[in-house]
Structure 1
Amino acid sequence: MSSLLAVTLWCPPCFLQDDLFDATSSVTVAPMSSTLLDAPLMRIRIAGGHGRLSGLDHDSDVMIDKLTTIKRSNVHARVGRLTAEQVVEVERAMMAFLGLAR
């Protein structure tokens, strides 16, 4: 009998919701993946590594095409932050993906 072992690297999500909505019971996020894809309209690369503002251990992609909403009670701690430039990049990609940039 053979067994298969799958290892998944956990990546924190990228929070997209404005602070004006902090009182809601849910928060909208874009998952992140350590499986890097060259798809600049749907994936925004965030550099990881020791001492990075992102708080990520390794480079990861924000998956713009996988937006979802989760319970705020499932959020436990902030891992890191995006730079102002990365925030603009994520916002532009979201606007294009959702058809709001026309």
Structure 2
Amino acid sequence: MSMFREILRQTNERLRLPQPAKSRIILEMAADLDELFLFYRKQGLGEDDAMRASVDKLGVSDETLVQLTHIHESPLQRLLDGLSSQARSDPAVG
């Protein structure tokens, strides 16, 4: 994940979602980038080329981020994120 830290940080800043959803997306993207990197390395690409190919293949365009936001803003997800947020901020919980 450290190889892709900057692209993940930038993506995190661009996502307009509550933190629990952002964290899930970033973790999924980190895992995807790592898998793609290993795939490209096994195909014979050097580290730099494998990193570039991985980021290009993942496609973190504005359109992709809008689609991810839409998917993660389902009514059920909003409810779960709201409950998660309340649980963290409620001093009576925990």
Larger CA Rg, structure 1 vs 2 = 2
* Fold shared per TM-score above 0.5: no
Higher helix share: 2
Return the structure number with greater relative CO, CA threshold 8 A, min gap 6: 2
User: Normalized against structure 1, the TM-score is what?
Assistant: 0.31
